[in-house]
Amino acid sequence: MTYTPLTTNELTIIAHSFVQKLKAYRVAQMINRCQVLARYKEGIKCGFETKFSNGRTEGINNRIKTIKRVACGYRYFTAFKTRIYLIIGHQIQTN
């Protein structure tokens, strides 16, 4: 069995069908979700068409937030910055 990725047109048809099924429930939350999907339709479509992702950036951001939370505050920003570079594994760059 081989997997064939869906084309953009196939994804559009599936998404449209899904939205129509959600609207059929006539529940306020479902209607709200349909409006959100309609509003961001182009962005969602581009997300499937391109191979770009912000996953790496989100991962680094999550690690920085974890460092900040675990540290319970730093007296100096440079100490915080140094800790981030040490944990993430990058060399400290001078400005």
Q: What does the DSSP 8-state code read for residue 75? A: S
This prediction's pTM: 0.47
Please name the residue that has the structure tokens 């509003």: 39
Do 37 and 15 meet the contact criterion of CB atoms below 8 Å apart? Answer: yes
Residue identified by tokens 């306020």 is 28
The three-class DSSP label of residue 93 is: coil
pLDDT tens for residues 14-61?
878 888 887 787 777 778 888 888 888 888 877 777 777 788 788 888
